Amino acid sequence: MSRFEAKKPSLCKSEPLTSERVRATLSVLKGIVTSCYGPLGRLKQLHNGLGGSVCTTSQSSALLANLSVTHPILKILTTSMQNHVSCFSDCGLFTAILCCNLIENAQRIGLTPSTVIKLNKHLLRLCISYLKSEACGCRIPVDFSSTQILLCLVRSILTSKPASMLTRKEIDHISTLILRAFLLTIPENTEDHIILGESIIVPLKGQRVIDSTVLPGILIEMSEVQLMKGLPVKKSDSLKVALFCASLSGDLSDTGEGTVVVSYGVSLENAVLDQLLNLGRQLVSDHVDLVMCQKVIHPSLKQFLSMHRVIAIDRVGVALMEPLSKVTGSQPVGSLGSISPSSYGSVKDLCTAKFGFKHFFHLIPNEATVCSLLLCNRNDTAWDELKLTLKEPCVLLGGGCTETHLAAYIRHKTCNEPESILKDEGCNQTELHLITEAFCSALESLAASLEHDGGEILTDMKYGHFWSLQADSPSIVNWPDLLSRCGCGLYNSQEELSWSFLRSTCHPFAPQTFLPHEAAGSANYLTLDCFTAKLNGLQVAVETANLILDLSYVIEDKN
Amino acid sequence: MNEKRHMGLQQLASFAETGRTFLGPVKSSKFIIDEERHESVLISSTVRLLESLDLTSAVGQLLSEAVQAQNNTYRTGTNTLLFLVGAWSSAAEECLHLGVPISLIVSVMSEGLDSCIEEVVSLQVPVYNVFDHMDNTKTFSGFETFSVSLGPFHQIPSDAGLIQKKHNLKDVASQSLTIYSLSGRPVKSPKLFRHQAKVEVDKDTSQTPQTLKNSLLADTCCRKSILIHSRHFNRTDNNQQISKPDGFLEQHGAATPKTYRCNDLVELEMGLSHGDHSSMKLVDNAIRLQYQNANMQQGNRTMPFMFDISRIFTYCLPGLPEAFSCVCPGYITVTSISSTTLIKELQNQPVRVVLIEGDLTENYRHLGFNKSANIKTVLENTKVQQDSSEELWINHVLQVLSKFNVNLVLAQGNVSDYLIEKCIHSKRLVIGSVNGNVMQAFAEASGAVQVAYVTQVNENCVGNGVHVTFWGSIPLDVVDMVDRMAIMLKTEGINLVTVVLTSPVTAHMQAKEDRFWTCAYRLYYALKEQKVFLGGGAVEFLCLSHLQILAEQSLNKRNQVCSGWLRNTSSWLASSLALYRPTVLKCLASGWHRYLSTLIYNTASYSSEFEASTFIQHHLQNAIDSGSPSSYILNECSKLNSGIFNSGISNKLEQIARVYDIVTPKIEAWRRALDLVLLVLQTDSEIITGLGHTQINSQVSEGFLFL
């Protein structure tokens, strides 16, 4: 007998943002992301409270993936952050903090959401066109003829992951390796557009970080038994390769539901094995030297192949299939039927390598745009932190300088040329002023989130850069001595600058635009951020904040 | 975040406190009692301790992860790791009390440890050509003497009765050693051994191993002396030669400056045994067997000999006195008593062998094979089928075995009992659950190829020349083995050594096996890295004095260029680094101080930790005053009875051999310990990810915040 239950009515709440609970949870979330931000950020231990594995991290991707938020508003926020991170794998915290700041500030000024949204959009457009323009004072073009900028970028990213617990030396080492791995993926002969190869990260836990290395080609882990069997002598100057994505383990392919009835004496297993051995015969007669299979190869087939001096490598795993196919030029074979000769590929050589306790086959391709980055670390947590950190190179000044500079630029712009905005958006001077203030202070307090130990944040009145100062510092006269360099490391405190506290109200000033050309080469250790990731982060933050501010009802289906 | 109190650090410190007694050569065991199941285990190592503890908290899990990682990679250094985690947790907390910003603690501490690691390079001792003196029987017997005279003292210091017992067993012990030489290489005659055993007893009773001591002293310590007439500390590029100005002669007695190096295996083993001579003696025997085997296999080819630890295998026989522990070439295992007659028949001839990679049962399929559940076999014939499918399979297996004339099957996995029984009837021995390395050794030595299924067996896969014998050296009725017996399998030239470990106390068995492996791995790393540290606390003492000096230096010149990863941060922290650096360095140093005083206190030469601590303080002051701590340490090390670095075992016995430590595993343990502490220090909240709801446990409120 079935029972029907009356449907519960949907729950409808108006003006969700005004609710005390939403505000409280938003501020908790903001607290979490803010405290994680930057190289000095605090870490979080993520675990399920039931003895599951513990993840110590300050990375947005790990945090957002594990936070199971309940309120729809927070869900909107975390989902759009996660989308951003999955595309750019950087600037996740930046985006989340900025979004929280914008929402909070907008609520405080109490203007109608539509005005706020309209003006936020306009300010965002101003930001983007400035950052993209030649005049931009916080963007450095990447000079591919020197590795310096690229190294700085990689180093900045690594430094901002405190949970990876790398020492200076280790950061330098890993940065160099990542850069080398990146350069190895650039093909030598390029025509119109470059198709980058791939860097495969091979984790090696428990070893010393300094033992990490980069190798051209692909590493495939192998078992001790395989190692002992050794490699047969190479016959020619390249090896013919067959690559299988189908399982060669000899099990029956999915028989579906229901029962298969077999008469006594018939062995399906033997039938499949016969088919496998036929396949083996074809491989041998086609003079294949190396058979690789994503899944398992039946021991009998392996034995057959090795008797005919064919190397068989199985359990390669799905992650390696695409690079293997790319490197060898072979088509993965998905069936046990006959193989078309066109699906075979080739490699230059195959040898074995040992790192730590693990043994690997090292596949050396004819043309290498694929390389393996062997990354060692002492613990899992740190390894996960590192793995997520491969970037593309376009750079903005980091260390908070871009944010403060941008805030100064926007403030100056809206103060000095408000006419066009007022005309376009149809709002009044006060509204513009309030919203600009909210927008800029959101950017500034984002920069201030880099401070976790109670210091003061200053900005200089010439470049609009970020400077950090010990709390309760003595008189202003000593500042040049106390502040050695700005956040990104580009400017020195000795060059006759004047500073003000970041959050104090000061007269809008025009920060110096057009970065001098020699700037990029001058400082050795710059803190840099990825241009595209940050630009997108900025957009996502403003748009998500607008979306959340625009919500007037939350309707929940309680069934 | 409460600035003055850090829960994570306190948790770490209290976890680490439980492992305090494991530090140093004299370890106190612990009983862990499970109140629910009324079970108890006896443990004496960090790894076993953490295995038995309930570490469900996040910090506890991180700790046990770190210990596991160290253990899996190096198999040693976990006691050091655990202790330093505790000591540095307290140190970090002390810094918080003093108001040092967290980021600065992190920066200065990791910088300080890096600097220590650079500094201790000067205490490295190169190890090379240790195998040149392998045939020197004199050193071997010297080692033997040590193991007997020192062995019982620190194994179980409280149990004096055991020493006596051990002496009484001397004759039996030499018997078991005779068997070893009979079974394999004619290295030493049984007579020689027996004779030595007597000498040992004599020496022990007369309590004057003076002559021997002197000879060894001359042999190990004063191999080469270099006198450099300079008041300044002299260091060559590779930091291998460190010498001491001779201006301190009146102060330090007749100590001559010397070049430290180690090219004697016994000296190295003595130094690395850290008091556990009985285990190290087994390691010594094992490595010698491997060496001889390698020499025999290679003939005159001059490949450098490598100690292959994967081909050493332990086999535990609880219930027997310790003296029965021995080392044998080949593989030792137990089989059921029902195969006695079979083994009698097999033992006079070489047999042919098949190696099976997985289980040897009808239903076994190779890894990655998915069985279809929905296949049903129907009988179309009405002819009554009597044999079950298992019987059919067994018949098939027997057919294959008899076709290739195979009398021995080794399987890595389980073997069907019925098959074993059937095989015994047809004069074939089947042994299951064989270790993978053992399989590999047999594959190499007998020419067999491992297969997954019996159907794969062909002539190429079958190995030859395996000898099966009883392993009869032990009076089996003594042992608690009712219907099982030990057998030995070996092949000419097999690169496999079985170490039989015995212990009268069954509860001690695990600890004994662990200790054997600790010694084996220490030697393995020393030989692999070709360098060791001067041990007995020397490196830690250097770290301590180095940090003290660093702290004083940075007090004097405030405007030091900061290093560490804060160097290119423009945060205000970078500029105020100099202000806090001495404090943090001193706290870090206090961790070393605690380590050393516990070490010395545990060796039982001091009645309280306070006394031990004063003792260290005294030496620390001397070291700092001398201007060069590393040369002070080298000098102290050469004074054998100075009581600081050689107090490792005991002053009373006037032990004379130098103590060594392995390099990379030790440094990695330090790094891991500090990494863990700093990781926890930087953590400000725990996020509990649940199925239904998420909670944030902020450490300020102790309450939960919901999202």
Share above pLDDT 70 across residues of chain B, in percent, rounded to a whole number:
66
Pick the CATH number of B344-466 from 3.10.310.40, 3.50.7.10, 1.10.540.10, 3.65.10.10: 3.50.7.10
Instruction: Judge whether residue B206 has pLDDT over 60.
Output: no
The pLDDT assigned to B521 comes to: 93
SS3 assignment, position B462 = coil
The answer to whether the CB of A499 falls within 8 A of the CB of A473 is no
Cα-Cα-Cα-Cα dihedral of B285, B287, B289, B293, to 10°?
-170
DSSP state of A68: -
For an interface test with B, which of A254, A378, A469 has the most B Cβ atoms less than 10 Å from its Cβ? A378
Task: Return d(Cα B624, Cα A63) in angstroms, integer.
Answer: 48
Listed by number, the residues of chain A in 342-361 with a beta carbon closer than 8 Å to a beta carbon of chain B are 356-357
B163 at interface of A, judged by CB pairs closer than 8 A: no
Q: What is the mean pLDDT of residues B375-384?
A: 59
The pLDDT assigned to B144 comes to: 40
> Using one digit for the tens of pLDDT, what is the confidence trace for A354-365?
887 788 888 888
Instruction: Judge whether residue B375 has pLDDT over 80.
Output: no
> Using one digit for the tens of pLDDT, what is the confidence trace for A371-382?
887 777 655 555
Tell me the two tokens of residue A44: 């979080």
**Distance (Å) of CA A245 to CA A270, A286, A310, A338, B357:** 22, 19, 18, 14, 25
| Among chain A residues, CA nearest to B460 | A307
Instruction: Judge whether residue A389 has pLDDT over 60.
Output: no
Share above pLDDT 70 across residues of chain A, in percent, rounded to a whole number:
87
Q: What is the mean pLDDT of residues A11-22?
A: 81
Q: Show contacts of B285-291: CB within 8 Å, 24+ apart.
A: B285/B180, B285/B326, B285/B327, B285/B499, B286/B312, B286/B327, B286/B497, B286/B499, B286/B520, B287/B523, B288/B134, B288/B140, B288/B187, B289/B184, B289/B185, B289/B327, B289/B329, B289/B497, B290/B495, B290/B497, B291/B131, B291/B134
First-residue to last-residue Cα distance in chain B: 19
| Strand segments (E) across B138-270 | 234-235, 242-243
B688 at interface of A, judged by CB pairs closer than 8 A: yes
Instruction: Judge whether residue B677 has pLDDT over 90.
Output: yes
Q: What is the mean pLDDT of residues B392-404?
A: 90
Q: Identify the band that residue A69 occupies on the pLDDT scale cut at 50, 70 and 90.
A: confident
> Using one digit for the tens of pLDDT, what is the confidence trace for B75-122?
888 888 999 999 999 999 999 999 888 888 988 998 899 899 998 888
Higher pLDDT, B570 or A95: A95
Task: Return d(Cα B520, Cα B566) in angstroms, integer.
Answer: 41
Please choose, from the candidates B587, B681, B620, the residue with its C-alpha nearest in 3D space to the C-alpha of residue B112.
Answer: B587
Instruction: Judge whether residue A44 has pLDDT over 80.
Output: yes
Tell me the two tokens of residue A537: 């982060």
Q: What is the mean pLDDT of residues A461-475?
A: 81
Listed by number, the residues of chain A in 494-523 with a beta carbon closer than 8 Å to a beta carbon of chain B are none
* Nearest chain A CA: its distance from B379 CA (Å): 5
Q: What is the mean pLDDT of residues B7-35?
A: 74
| Among chain B residues, CA nearest to A450 | B571
Length of chain A: 559
Please choose, from the candidates A357, A455, A462, A327, the residue with its C-alpha nearest in 3D space to the C-alpha of residue A401.
Answer: A462
| Among chain B residues, CA nearest to A493 | B570
The answer to whether the CB of B570 falls within 8 A of the CB of A485 is yes
| Among chain B residues, CA nearest to A159 | B565
Task: Return d(Cα A421, Cα A429) in angstroms, integer.
Answer: 10
CB contact under 8 A, A42 and B675: no
* Nearest chain A CA: its distance from B420 CA (Å): 24
Q: What is the mean pLDDT of residues B462-478?
A: 75
The answer to whether the CB of B415 falls within 8 A of the CB of B430 is yes
Instruction: Judge whether residue A353 has pLDDT over 90.
Output: no
Task: Return d(Cα A179, Cα A146) in angstroms, integer.
Answer: 12
Q: Identify the band that residue B4 occupies on the pLDDT scale cut at 50, 70 and 90.
A: very low
Tell me the two tokens of residue A273: 């094995």
Please choose, from the candidates B283, B332, B326, B292, the residue with its C-alpha nearest in 3D space to the C-alpha of residue B186.
Answer: B292
Tell me the two tokens of residue B308: 């292959």
Q: What is the mean pLDDT of residues A21-44?
A: 88
- Within 8 A of A159 by CB-CB distance, chain B residues are 565, 568-569
What average pLDDT is seen over chain B? Answer: 71
Task: Return d(Cα B673, Cα B592) in angstroms, integer.
Answer: 12
Cα-Cα-Cα-Cα dihedral of B571, B577, B579, B585, to 10°?
150
The pLDDT assigned to B670 comes to: 93
Please choose, from the candidates A229, A333, A238, the residue with its C-alpha nearest in 3D space to the C-alpha of residue A289.
Answer: A238
> Using one digit for the tens of pLDDT, what is the confidence trace for A533-542?
889 999 999 9
What average pLDDT is seen over chain A? Answer: 82
The pLDDT assigned to B584 comes to: 92
Q: What is the mean pLDDT of residues A467-481?
A: 75
Please choose, from the candidates A321, A317, A347, A319, the residue with its C-alpha nearest in 3D space to the C-alpha of residue A332.
Answer: A321
Please choose, from the candidates B363, B360, B364, B366, the residue with its C-alpha nearest in 3D space to the C-alpha of residue B431.
Answer: B360
Partner residues linked to A363 by β-bridges:
A218, A350
The pLDDT assigned to A176 comes to: 87
> Which candidate from B72, B436, B683 shows the least CB-CB separation from A224?
B436
* Nearest chain A CA: its distance from B173 CA (Å): 37
Instruction: Judge whether residue A63 has pLDDT over 80.
Output: yes
* Nearest chain A CA: its distance from B695 CA (Å): 9
SS3 assignment, position A312 = strand
- The region of weakest confidence among A271-275, B24-28, B414-418 is B24-28
Cα-Cα-Cα-Cα dihedral of A280, A284, A289, A294, to 10°?
-20
- The region of weakest confidence among A142-156, B366-380, B390-404, B661-675 is B366-380
Q: Model ipTM?
A: 0.83
Share above pLDDT 90 across residues of chain B, in percent, rounded to a whole number:
13
Please choose, from the candidates A130, A168, A33, the residue with its C-alpha nearest in 3D space to the C-alpha of residue A91.
Answer: A33
Residues sharing a CB contact under 8 Å with residue B346, sequence separation 6 or more, in sequence order: B407, B408, B427, B429, B468
CB contact under 8 A, B451 and A224: no
Partner residues linked to A56 by β-bridges:
A45
Please choose, from the candidates A415, A448, A445, A408, the residue with its C-alpha nearest in 3D space to the C-alpha of residue A432.
Answer: A415
CB atoms within 10 A of CB A372: 26
CB-count burial class (<10 Å; 0-12, 13-18, 19+) for B246: middle
Instruction: Judge whether residue B230 has pLDDT over 80.
Output: no
Residues sharing a CB contact under 8 Å with residue B256, sequence separation 6 or more, in sequence order: B222, B225, B227, B638
Share above pLDDT 90 across residues of chain A, in percent, rounded to a whole number:
18
SS3 assignment, position A216 = strand
Rg, Å, chain B Cα set: 30
> Using one digit for the tens of pLDDT, what is the confidence trace for B607-642?
777 877 888 888 888 888 877 777 777 777 665 444
- Within 8 A of B453 by CB-CB distance, chain A residues are 299-300
Q: Identify the band that residue B273 occupies on the pLDDT scale cut at 50, 70 and 90.
A: confident
The pLDDT assigned to A435 comes to: 92
Higher pLDDT, B530 or A70: B530
Q: What is the mean pLDDT of residues A97-110?
A: 92
- The region of weakest confidence among A384-398, A481-495, B303-317 is A384-398
Q: Identify the band that residue A309 occupies on the pLDDT scale cut at 50, 70 and 90.
A: confident
Q: Identify the band that residue B173 occupies on the pLDDT scale cut at 50, 70 and 90.
A: very low
A249 at interface of B, judged by CB pairs closer than 8 A: yes
B73 at interface of A, judged by CB pairs closer than 8 A: yes
Q: Identify the band that residue A256 occupies on the pLDDT scale cut at 50, 70 and 90.
A: low
Which of B286-300, B520-534, B683-697 reaches the highest mean pLDDT? B520-534
Q: What is the mean pLDDT of residues B258-279?
A: 78
For an interface test with B, which of A34, A267, A453 has the most B Cβ atoms less than 10 Å from its Cβ? A453
Domain spans of chain B, in order of start:
146-265+532-538+595-662, 344-466
The pLDDT assigned to A548 comes to: 92
Task: Return d(Cα B351, Cα B305) in angstroms, integer.
Answer: 30
Strand order in the sheet with A466-469: A466-469, A456-460, A499-501
> Which candidate from B576, B678, B706 shows the least CB-CB separation from A165?
B678
- Within 8 A of B61 by CB-CB distance, chain A residues are 47, 51, 53-54
Task: Return d(Cα A17, Cα A198) in angstroms, integer.
Answer: 45
Categorise residue A504: left if φ over 0, alpha if ψ from -120 to 50, beta otherwise: beta
CB contact under 8 A, A468 and B571: yes
DSSP state of A18: G
- The region of weakest confidence among A206-220, A233-247, A415-429, B469-483 is B469-483
A88-126 per-residue burial string, b: 16 or more CB within 10 A, e: under 16: bbbbbbbbbbbbbbbbbbbbeeebebebbbbbbebbbeb
Residue type, B639: K
Task: Return d(Cα B227, Cα A397) in angstroms, integer.
Answer: 58
CB contact under 8 A, A168 and B564: yes
The pLDDT assigned to A539 comes to: 94
A23 at interface of B, judged by CB pairs closer than 8 A: no
The pLDDT assigned to B253 comes to: 33
CB contact under 8 A, B570 and A484: yes
Tally A–B CB contacts below 8 A: 252
Q: Identify the band that residue A244 occupies on the pLDDT scale cut at 50, 70 and 90.
A: very high
Rg, Å, chain A Cα set: 29
- Within 8 A of B116 by CB-CB distance, chain A residues are none
